[in-house]
Amino acid sequence: MKRTYSQLNDEERRKLELWRQAKISPDVMAERLGRHRSTIFRELKRNHFRDEAMPKVAGYYWMVAKMKAAIRRAKERKLIRHADLQGQVIDRIKAGWTPEQIAGRMRFEGAKPRVCQETICRFVYSKEGMQHDLWWYLPEHRRKRRPRRARKRQAPNFRPENSILFRPDDVAHRRQFGHWEADLVLFRQKFGPNNLTSLVERVSRFTVLLPNADRRTRPIMAKLVAVLGSLPFKARRSITFDRGSEFIDWPHLQAGAGVQT
């Protein structure tokens, strides 16, 4: 039974190489693979290896066929074939749009031609995309793309209600003393893992800098407990962290110094 068309896979190409060496006809190959005869003829013709310097080794080889097919796919990518579409994608990425937003807007507008999120991501990390440094405009600023299987959403280190967006107006507009912000100040790699925790009171802008030997959360939190725990309650009402992993042990600070996070 004939099946719907799909690209030949490695196993099929290996069989074609062996059958070609055995001088089996393309019609028989097509029947054995359950492929249309034109698919086999096209595969053998397009991916035939030929080198004038080595005439005796001319023929069909599955690894050569695989490489040739990959090169053709790279040249025939939609964002390479459609220059206007490529320009739209580049402009929107540089304007701060994510691949998901770009693809979603094109789908919403019914644009033709249009591309999906995965196609845009592949283009960003392709040779052409790297020439424009498109990776820099993405939220994570990753020069190399993560493997798709590794891209699993991680559980948040902080509860959503701990976000500064949900702080009372007195905190947001700096009308009440005793609310702090904490951040980690990193140095260049040549200076090693040493860093500083910056602690800033939002109203007075009073700043405390605490040196750290590394980014381990427990020692960092222990120093914050020591500093904030010595203050009167009105001077240590709450603290807001950035969302780095070095502050993941924030419950320790809550329990040790009675500071709301």
Residues 69 and 121 in one domain: no
Q: Which domain holds residue 17?
A: 10-75
Asked whether residue 2 is domain-assigned, the answer is no
Asked whether residue 4 is domain-assigned, the answer is no
pLDDT tens, 42-72?
A: 999 989 988 888 888 889 998 999 888 877 7
Residues 83 and 139 in one domain: yes
Q: Which of 144, 178, 201 is the last residue of a domain?
A: 144
For residue 249, what are its two tokens? 């042990």
Residues 164 and 252 in one domain: yes
Asked whether residue 117 is domain-assigned, the answer is yes
Residues 190 and 230 in one domain: yes
Asked whether residue 3 is domain-assigned, the answer is no
Across the range 192-208, mean pLDDT stands at: 90
pLDDT tens, 228-243?
A: 888 888 888 888 887 6
pTM (predicted TM-score): 0.40
Residues 125 and 169 in one domain: no
Exposure string of 193-209, with b = 16+ CB inside 10 Å and e = fewer, is eebebebbbbeeeeebe
Asked whether residue 1 is domain-assigned, the answer is no
Q: Which of 41, 75, 109 is the last residue of a domain?
A: 75
Q: Which of 75, 96, 130 is the last residue of a domain?
A: 75
In this predicted structure, the answer to whether residue 107 has a pLDDT above a threshold of 80 is yes
Query: Helix/strand/coil (H, E, C) string of 211-261?
Result: EECCCCHHHHHHHHHHHHHCCCHHHCCEEEECCCHHHCCHHHHHHHHCCEC
Residues 168 and 244 in one domain: yes
Asked whether residue 150 is domain-assigned, the answer is no
Asked whether residue 68 is domain-assigned, the answer is yes
Contacts of 32 (CB under 8 A, 6+ apart): 15, 19
Across the range 128-133, mean pLDDT stands at: 88
- Select the more confidently predicted residue: 118 or 150: 118
Residue-level pLDDT at 2: 44
Q: How confident is the model at residue 90 (pLDDT cuts 50, 70, 90)?
A: very high
Residue-level pLDDT at 238: 85
Residues 178 and 249 in one domain: yes
Asked whether residue 151 is domain-assigned, the answer is no
Residues 104 and 175 in one domain: no
Residues 69 and 86 in one domain: no
- Select the more confidently predicted residue: 72 or 104: 104
Residue-level pLDDT at 1: 43
Residue-level pLDDT at 102: 92
Residues 249 and 183 in one domain: yes
DSSP characters for 151-163?
--PPPPSS-GGGS
What CATH number does the domain containing 221 carry? 3.30.420.10
Look at the chain and report how many structural domains it folds into: 3
Residues 105 and 16 in one domain: no
pLDDT tens, 242-258?
A: 767 777 777 777 776 66
pLDDT tens, 157-185?
A: 555 545 555 667 777 788 889 888 888 88
Residues 103 and 30 in one domain: no
